[in-house]
Amino acid sequence: MPLPEVVYAQASPTSMGGTSLFATGARIRAANVPSFFASAGVVRAAERALKRAGFKVLNVAPTTINIAGPPDLYESVFQTELFTEEREVVKLLGTPDTATFVETRDTDMPGLIDTSNSPVANVVEGVAIERPVYYMAPNAYPPPKAYWHLRVPGDVSMGLGADAVHRRMGLTGKGVNVVMVDSGWFAHPYFVGRGYRASVGLGPGAMNINLDGSGHGTGESANLYALAPDIEFTMMKMSFFNSTAAFNAAVALQPDIISVSWGTDVEKPPLGAADRALAASVAAAVESGIIVVAASGNGQFSFPGQHPDVISAGGVYMEEDGALQASSYASGFPSKIFSRRNTPDVSGLVGMAPNGTYIALPVEPSSEMDTVFGGGAHPAKDETKTDDGWAMFSGTSAAAPQLAGICALMKEANPNLTPKDARDILKRTARDVKKGKNAMGHRAKAGRDVATGAGLADAQKAVQAAARRR
């Protein structure tokens, strides 16, 4: 097997206790772990040195610094040689198999790079190569179901008018950086098979870079790829107790677009402290030129979905014959926090109440989405197994990355596009929806309304309009 394009590793800043994290014979437990912490000064120095050497620093913690870079960078900085090795492992569902590990012959410890001959030797005591995980248990194809639903990428792309952009205009999101702040990203065979590129960063407090125990982020990212398959995608995995910090970490990457498929339920003022901080972060991001797309909620008065600077994503249901109506699962409302702010601005494809079971999305097997939606009859459940790595869900959580994907296409067509341009164009070019009621009982009618905003986004018209603004 060839080496991967990017190798992830944990660099250990020199431990305060004098014994390296990798050299100790002791078991590391809560009682003795402080002696393996590095001082704040050493951590900062190590982070600077690693960045200077060319590594991307994904996360900094007192015991390890998560880094990423191409294999040849490791080889030149650490005077080492990397190679791959197939080893026997037990994969999901107890299946014996082999997996590919990135290895070095530097030390007797598997996966440990010796840093003593490198420019970071005085502040980094060792570098542990992450073990790549190749779960092959889930099928790359979704299970067939008799009820009407959408499949990624084709149905979602076609429903939003992106196929024509891909084929006739040759735009697929190339060179556009999109960050999704969500529950994590699992390298599902669906993504691997389609050759989508992804990197994962850990937001403050988040762990387990290869896992997505929720399944939400993994699934929703498939909506983004359906619209813009060649984007430079980063999942910023968040701690559920530190969502603003994860958003801040996403902003620090200075991407073109940030997609947010979550929020808090805030009907009336005042905003709490954390929401005020998030409001300031959103405003700062947009002011710096980042397009922020946020879900308007699934029956909630969502924040940041009602922030005036975001593109607020609502929901439209497309029937089997292509007819459109407002999604009875999606939020849309006049904000009581921000005057003259109606959400959503524009809508993506979203299922109907009770649970929005609509789009077949890949998830980590046995994750929360797999378990919650599987194992029962449609429409309350999705009739898939609870451990098959597929779940049918949507909500405005799906609409946000769909719109973010269209923004990526627009940005490729016109790199000078501002956040305001993107929102104006999406609203001006959307397909009006005149039927149905949203989750809050607001009726769709001719023209703009709070049921669906300007209606269903139209990628082709939006991208053409963006290109004309160059």
Partner 1 sequence: MPPPRRRPRREADRPAAALAILPQGQSDDEVREFFEQAGFAVGPTVGISFSIEAPEPLMKETFPDFDGRPRELSLRKVPRKVRRRLDSVVVERPPDFGPFGPP
Residue 152 makes contact with partner 1 by CB under 8 A: no
Tell me the closest approach of the beta carbon of residue 280 to partner 1, in angstroms.
Answer: 3
State which of residues 99, 112, 129, 238 lies at the interface with partner 1 (CB under 8 A).
238
Question: Least Å distance between CB 59 and partner 1?
Answer: 8
Secondary structure (3-state) at 183 = coil
Considering only residues 301-330, where is the footprint of partner 1 by CB under 8 A? 302
Q: Could you write out the DSSP letters of every residue in 83-123?
A: EEEEEEEEEGGGEEEEEEEEEESSSSSTTEEP-TTSTTTTT
Nearer to partner 1, 23 or 252 (CB): 252
Minimal distance, residue 241 CB to partner 1, in Å: 5
- 332 scored as a contact of partner 1 (CB under 8 A): no
Q: Between 13 and 455, name the residue whose CB sits nearer to partner 1.
A: 13
Q: By the 8 A CB rule, do 53 and 98 touch?
A: no
Smallest distance, partner 1 to C-beta of residue 146, A:
20
Among the residue ranges 54-62, 134-142, 145-153, 408-416, the one whose residues contact partner 1 (CB under 8 A):
54-62
Q: What does the block give as tokens for 1? A: 């097997």
Tell me whether residue 156 or residue 251 sits nearer to partner 1 (CB atom): 251
- The residue range among 77-85, 121-129, 362-370, 427-435 that interacts with partner 1, by the rule CB under 8 A, is 362-370
* Residue 61 binds partner 1 (CB under 8 A): yes
Q: Which position among 132, 143, 334, 375 is part of the footprint of partner 1 (CB under 8 A)?
A: 375
- Binding segment for partner 1 (CB under 8 A), chosen from 79-87, 110-118, 296-304, 339-347, is 296-304
Q: Is 151 exposed, middle or buried (0-12, 13-18, 19+ CB in 10 A)?
A: middle
Output 50 or 206, the one with its CB closest to partner 1: 206
Beta-sheet pairing, 257-260 with 198-202? unpaired
Find out whether 367 and 214 touch, Cβ atoms under 8 Å. yes
- 145 lines the binding site for partner 1 (CB under 8 A): no
From the CB of 369, what's the least distance to partner 1, in Å? 8
* Residues whose CB falls within 8 Å of the CB of residue 48, separated by 6 or more in sequence, listed in order: none
State which of residues 197, 381, 437, 445 lies at the interface with partner 1 (CB under 8 A): 381
Separation of alpha carbons 459 and 466, rounded Å:
10
286: left (phi over 0), alpha (psi -120 to 50) or beta: alpha
Q: How many CA atoms lie within 13 A of 285 on its CB side?
A: 34
Residues between 264 and 293 that touch partner 1 (CB under 8 A): 264-265, 273-274, 276-285
Q: Could you say whether residue 388 binds partner 1 (CB under 8 A)? A: no
Applying CB under 8 A, does 132 fall inside the site for partner 1?
Answer: no
Token digits for 21? 């994290």
Using DSSP bridges, classify how beta strands 65-69 and 82-91 pair: parallel, antiparallel or unpaired. Answer: unpaired
φ, ψ at 436 (rounded to 5°): 90, 170
Residue 216 sits in the site that holds partner 1 (CB under 8 A): yes
Task: Please report, as residue ranges, which positions from 23 to 42 form the binding site for partner 1 (by CB under 8 A).
Answer: 33-34, 37, 39-40
> Do 239 and 394 touch, CB atoms closer than 8 A?
no
A 10 A CB-CB count for 236 gives 29
